[in-house]
Amino acid sequence: MNILHVCSEFFPLLKTGGLADVMASLPAAQRNLGVNARILLPGFPEIIKQLPNKKKVTDLNTFSGNVTLYYDTYGTIPLYIIDVPYLYDRPGNPYHDINNNDYHDNYIRFALLGYVACELAKGCDGFWKPDVVHAHDWHAGLTCAYLAANNYPAKCIFTIHNIAFSGNFSSFHMPELWLPNHFYNTEGLEFYGQISFLKAAIFYANYSTTVSPTYAQEVLNPKYSHGFDGLLRKRYNEGRFCGILNKVDENIWAPDKDFLITQPYSVRNLRNKIKNKQSLQQELGLPLLEHLPLFTIVSRMTYQKGLDMVLEILPKMMESGLQFIILGQGEHHLESAFTQLAYQYPNNMRAIIGYTEQKSHQLIASADILMVPSRFEPCGLTQLYALKYGTLPLVRRTGGLADTVTDCSLEALEAKEATGFVFNDSNTKDLNNAIQRSLLLWKTQKKWRQLQKSAMCQDFSWNTTAQSYISLYNEILNK
């Protein structure tokens, strides 16, 4: 079976969020199960410069002019790269300029990704063509529309990684996209007077998924759906929508063989975890406190992540002597607020604005508690990494957080099933109560160690998820 994954990021070549981690892991797991999975990516400079031995596949005539399609492999994963320097070779990140503004022609930049995916399905590479095209997030959303416009030369699946980002653009651009005019319709890609890449994907895909079972149920509700609940309920009732949980690449996120942390450790020698905490405290100039837990957040700084609630309760946490470190970037007012608090509490807090993979590993290995107080969370990966590292997640009960973290209730503790601290409502009272429960359990180190061991023994390998998608591919191919 030949599968083409279509996406905008791939770790370690280019990463702005969890999508890149998923795209590095899912196709690799599928290849291990005998599926010929490949990836199509835009030729962003970070990707192009790391593939010096790429080979030309073909030139294509497209709505953005002549483009070149290249082929290479990274590790075990075959990659197709769309090389169009005037579209992709720009400062900033793949989606925004250096001032964090969307590029004005994102509709063309990412429509081209879907167009080329369809050309591969039609056979533009004379040596390989996909049976199923698997598109990821709005950037690849028009893939499904182009396949539909060409009578489905391959079946298609679309995965929603975050429904809050839907890729909406002015309907004025419709003639530029080389799609049939009648596709701009409520029974098509029209969404409240705009072109929606996400709507196009859900409408035209043979099957749609999202990245956790709980999130799949949540987005059927207008509260979480960003306007797509009607279409998703229809697909759900047709048996064409479900949630499949993301997992962890245990070759990268494994504390016993992690070369990015100070001291490797495992569930059998958890004492070595403390050396990572001490090393980080020394590096950042924080007091070497062992008798109190170290809290951390590794996250994009956005309203979605509930960080404004954390800002409200941080002063009391700091005044009680606790330590807190945040790593991330995003909305400027949140970056400034955390930076200001760090200056206010120099013995207790650090705000590291930006992101590096090494620092992410170091924080997750060093901290005692990882906070993920998201208002909504399609899956979440940092809590999975934390579980693998014996860093107990403190999360809101939503989306993938609800599917992956078991609260330390008395019953769960007794059954040795608890893996973290879960609160229900998105407010500071519930968040603070969860923090207080974590501090109470910290005082009983025997129970804390049991919680760590339960967390680290969870199976979050990609095999089961990869097999679930393979079963789905077979299902749509046989219809």
Binding site feature residues for ADP-alpha-D-glucose: 15
**Size of the chain, expressed as the number of residues it contains:** 479
Residues 54 and 72: beta-carbon distance below 8 Å:
yes
- Reading the block at residue 322, the tokens are 């606790």
Q: Is the peptide bond before 52 cis (omega within 30 degrees of 0)?
A: no
Q: Which of 409, 69, 18, 22 is nearest to 5 (CA)?
A: 22
- Reading the block at residue 461, the tokens are 């390998």
**Whole-angstrom Cα distance, residue 209 to residue 316?**
41
Q: Which of 422, 373, 424, 378 is nearest to 400 (CA)?
A: 378
Strands 65-74 and 77-83: antiparallel
Q: Which of 285, 3, 298 is nearest to 131 (CA)?
A: 3
Annotated binding site: 15
Q: Which of 372, 400, 402, 375 is nearest to 211 (CA)?
A: 400
The residues with which 323 forms a beta bridge, in sequence order, are: 294
Tokens 């009272």 correspond to what residue? 429
What are the two backbone dihedrals, phi and then psi, of residue 170, each rounded to the nearest 5 degrees? -60, 140
Sign of the torsion angle spanned by Cα atoms 146, 151, 154, 157: positive
Residues 417 and 444: beta-carbon distance below 8 Å:
no
Question: How far from 313 is each of 79, 289, 307, 320, 355, CA to CA, in Å?
Answer: 46, 21, 10, 11, 24
